[in-house]
Chain A
Amino acid sequence: MLRDITIGQHFPGNSILHRCDPRLKLVGTIAYIVVLFVAANPVGIALSIALLALLYSVAKIPFKMILKSLKPIVPVIIFTAVLNLFFLTGETPLFQWWIFTIYPEGVRYAILMAVRVMALIAGTSLLTYTTSPIVLTDAIENLLRPLGKLHFPVHELAMMMTIALRFIPTLIDETEKIMNAQKARGAMLDTGSFVQRVKALVPILIPLFLSAFRRADELAMAMECRCYHGGEGRTRLKVLKFGREDVLCAAALTVLLGIIVCTRFLFA
């Protein structure tokens, strides 16, 4: 079923990583990405991957989930690896054939880059596996709050994300219904040439858009009826709390990432 697809792919659980403050997880993920780029040496990358493996096992997320998250970007990884392989030049060629020359620097960089991108994807996936989208939205709103002083619409952004998350299943259901209705009227959705198939989508998208606008109109009214007037003076049911456990996690993560950054100086 279409509706079982959710974005973010939350993987519910009760590990310390699941319970941890989402703001810490978000900042931690960003820090991890930065470290991946700062500590761009074999030892640093190896340690980064070891850290990731540790976190995945603490969160009890099966390793095959990593492969699943990597699958869509395999072509990108291969493409960049090939580019690096052929276009990076060094002093002594390792291999030469026709117009292709491969240098050891190219090989080294291609591998490093591929591993780094994979670690980056696996790291961010860990965030979405352990944090539900709604909690993540809260964290983003909370972290961006200082930007509100610069008239950045933080609350509105978070509200839009919440409503989008809320309506994705509803609209997927609706798409299914419209598709069935058009099929019943003889629409050929799964056969024909590419152009024909794209054309067949028009009678699905138009009703979908119209209905989405009507829904938006009604939702806006229902929100007004419940005294919605923007983010000003708003309180929250669930207030994010940075507890003792979070302090410990933050300290541990800082130390570990610090060690990885230090490997940079070993190779200076």
Chain B
Amino acid sequence: MKDTMIDVQDVKFRYDPEQPGYAVDGVSMQVRRGEFVAVLGANGCGKSTLAKHFNAILLPEKGTVLVEDMDTRTEDHLYDIRQKVGMVFQNPDNQIVATIVEEDVAFALENLGVPAPEIRERIDESMKLAGIYEQKDKAPHKLSGGQKQRVAIAGVIAMRPDCLVLDEATAMLDPRGRRQVMKTIRQLREAGISIVAITHYMEEAAQADRVLVMSRGRIVMEGTPEQVFSQTERLHSYHLDVPQAAELRDELVKAGIPMPQNVITPEACAEALYALLAQ
């Protein structure tokens, strides 16, 4: 099997061809199989626009997007691509179609023409994976935000995608709902699904394998969370923050206390502090 899931080559896109400015202005990037990529960037920098290229909701004006070697511009592969790359959006209320949880989770499979017994099997599996199996007979509007978002995730992973794109999927949730969704994401990673998470929460990005930073339609930084979050000044210039642990690290360094550069999670921070205290 090929290692690259999604291959974006020099993509340019603008919503209005009359305007000179591009919403996505020459982006090249790859998502590898099983990888967790976090995409950061200020409001309006083109993250959502880029994400919509991954499953052919938008087609590039220049450049190409390949999903497992299928060009998103070829009509014949449209549903193969959408089945391989699932997408979850910010507002769970606006993604749920049916009036019963399990019917909604089955929606994608019904569209794909999967026979009824197989639908049953696959939705049970994905509802268990997303942790909402107990809610399967409920009406979506009776669920909490975190549960609703997991219903939306279950509805997408029922297609058995190889990659899940989350466009600020935790933005409208309270801390508890966010934790539930992050736990589900970790479980999906263990199941071997690639994750692309667009987020404004640096703590979430710190858990990724790789972080991309966008500004004005371009990718301006790329690397492991340690590499990216050690450059506090540069992130500030793109109107972004660093995780709290990294902020503490910077303050300590400023105060003359030596801290390693790669401290970005509370755990790593605690360890570094223990080591200092032990000295």
Chain A residues proximal to chain B, CB less than 8 Å:
3, 133-134, 162-163, 165-166, 169-170, 173, 214-215, 218-219, 221-229, 233-239
Answer whether A234 and B97 are a contact pair too, CB < 8 Å, given A170-B141, A226-B156, A227-B159: no
Q: In the assembled complex, how far is the CB of residue B126 from the closest CB belonging to chain A, in whole angstroms?
A: 12
Chain B residues proximal to chain A, CB less than 8 Å:
55, 57, 79, 82-83, 86-87, 89, 91, 93-100, 102-103, 106-116, 119-120, 123, 139-141, 152, 155-156, 159
| Interchain CB contact under 8 A, B94 and A215 | yes
Answer whether A222 and B106 are a contact pair too, CB < 8 Å, given A166-B140, A227-B82: no
| Interchain CB contact under 8 A, B93 and A226 | no
| Interchain CB contact under 8 A, A227 and B111 | yes
Answer whether A222 and B95 are a contact pair too, CB < 8 Å, given A235-B115, A235-B119, A237-B102: yes
Answer whether A227 and B112 are a contact pair too, CB < 8 Å, given A163-B97, A166-B98, A222-B89: yes
**Which residues of chain A have C-beta atoms less than 8 A from B108's C-beta?**
226-227
Contact residue among A134, A214, A215, A226 (Cβ-Cβ distance under 8 Å from B155): A226
Answer whether A227 and B83 are a contact pair too, CB < 8 Å, given A166-B99, A235-B113: yes
| Interchain CB contact under 8 A, A228 and B111 | yes
**Which residues of chain B have C-beta atoms less than 8 A from A162's C-beta?**
97-99
Contact residue among A166, A214, A229, A238 (Cβ-Cβ distance under 8 Å from B96): A166
| Interchain CB contact under 8 A, A218 and B110 | no
Known: A222-B87, A225-B156, A227-B83. 15 other contacts (CB 8 A): A134-B103, A166-B96, A166-B97, A166-B99, A215-B91, A215-B93, A218-B89, A218-B95, A219-B97, A225-B57, A228-B107, A228-B111, A235-B110, A237-B120, A239-B116
Q: In the assembled complex, how far is the CB of residue A22 from the closest CB belonging to chain B, in whole angstroms?
A: 15
Contact residue among A133, A134, A215, A236 (Cβ-Cβ distance under 8 Å from B110): A236
Complex Cα distance, B141 from A3, in Å, reads: 10
User: Which residue of A is nearest B118, CB measured?
Assistant: A235
